[in-house]
Amino acid sequence: MITVEHLTKRYGAFTAVDDVSFTCVPGTVTGFLGPNGAGKSTTMRMISGLTPPTSGSTTVNGVAFRDLPNPGRHIGVLLDASAQHSGRTGREILSLSAQLLGVGRKRVDAMLELVGLAGAPEKRRVGNYSLGMRQRLGLAHALLGDPSVLMLDEPANGLDPEGIFWMRGVLRDFADRGGTVMLSSHLLREVEAVADHLVVIGNGKIVADGAKTELLHAGGLYVRGLDAALLEKALTEAGLSVQPTRDGGFSVAADAESIGRAALAAGVVLLELRPADSGGLEEMFLRLTSHPDAQKDAA
């Protein structure tokens, strides 16, 4: 369980995280989504006690991080897989933390086995690891203390498709056993496949927070007509909220009847009118997190 309440972090005049509140509950995978620089990592650093917040509070299993006795036994944290001493071997890094956590050598063996680094890779220095191997080691490190909560920052970075599929399986399995998982990403597709719950952050503010299925439907309906310009005009004149998609259609936050009537009145031939698919989430993601730069990119 992770609870974040009215969390704010300011750096001078810049507000990196602005009054953020959300909860990650046991048994679920929460995807923490946002474009680069939205405040994801800053939020995660505040949860793990590495960055002092300007105001607000966070707890893990109901306790402030600093007050957790041996926090690694409660929450496994992976913030940056590359932040390991390049001169230590994979096994040595896990063994050091195992000593601190008070878990035995068997746990180190099991975790190396789990992430597929057992054998020759564990004896290599981390400086020679690929980013994908570092992510695997990072996940092994986070799981080492047998915690009930996992918090991972961009864990799929550098993993190959097989590795991403594998990691989803591990995280899903962890949550299905009653664990709490929070993972961040700037790639919607990556999180969509594994998360039950989505928290979307843009410019330091939470812009969406809800069950994945709920947010998917918030994408509204998808409509495409023979004459895109005319259709857009008709929908806008009907007072509907219209968002163009990249394939010439529109996602519209309205019911099918209103859209159909607006199209009929304007005499536009409709080619498609259906609930927005998962692509709708992507539109939402772009829309909710858009700022002047992002809009330029999307255009």
Partner 1 sequence: MSALATPAAGTHRPTRTSRPSLARLTAVELRKATDTRAGFWLLAVIALVALGMVLIQMFTGDAADRTFSDFLVGAQLPVGLLLPVVGILAVTGEWSQRTTLSTFALEPRRERVVAAKLSAAVLMAVGVVVASLAWAALANVVAPLVTDADGSWSFGAEDFGRVVLFQVIGMLVGSAFGLALLSTPLAIVLYFVLPTAWTILGTTISALETPAEWLNYQATTMPLIDDGGLSGTEWGQLGTSLALWLLLPLAFGLWRVLRSEIK
Site of interaction with partner 1 (CB under 8 A): 26, 45, 48-52, 61, 65-66, 68-74, 77, 79-80, 82-88, 92, 96-97, 99-102, 110, 113-116, 141, 143, 146-148, 166, 169-170, 173-174, 177-179
Taking the C-alpha atoms of 126, 127, 129 and 133 in order, what is their torsion angle to the nearest 10 degrees?
50
Give min distance, CB of 270 to partner 1, in A.
Answer: 45
State in angstroms the smallest separation of the CB of 51 from partner 1: 5
108 vs 223 by CB, closer to partner 1: 108
Query: Is residue 255 left, alpha or beta, with left meaning phi > 0 and alpha meaning psi from -120 to 50?
Result: beta
Which amino acid would we find at residue 107? Answer: R
Write the DSSP symbol of residue 183.
Answer: E
To the nearest whole angstrom, how small is the minimum distance from the Cβ of residue 188 to partner 1?
A: 24
Question: Can you tell me the distance from the alpha carbon of 75 to that of 44, in angstroms, rounded to the nearest whole number?
Answer: 12
Query: Facing residues of 3 across strands?
Result: 23, 59
Shortest reach from residue 33's CB to partner 1, in Å: 22
Rounded least distance, CB 107 to partner 1, Å: 10
For residues 198 and 249, give the distance between their C-alpha atoms in angstroms, rounded to a whole number.
25
Burial of 49 (0-12, 13-18, 19+ CB in 10 A): middle
Q: Which is nearer to partner 1, 26 or 244 (CB)?
A: 26
Alpha carbon 232 to chain centroid distance?
33
Nearer to partner 1, 67 or 247 (CB): 67
CA distance 115 to 137: 7
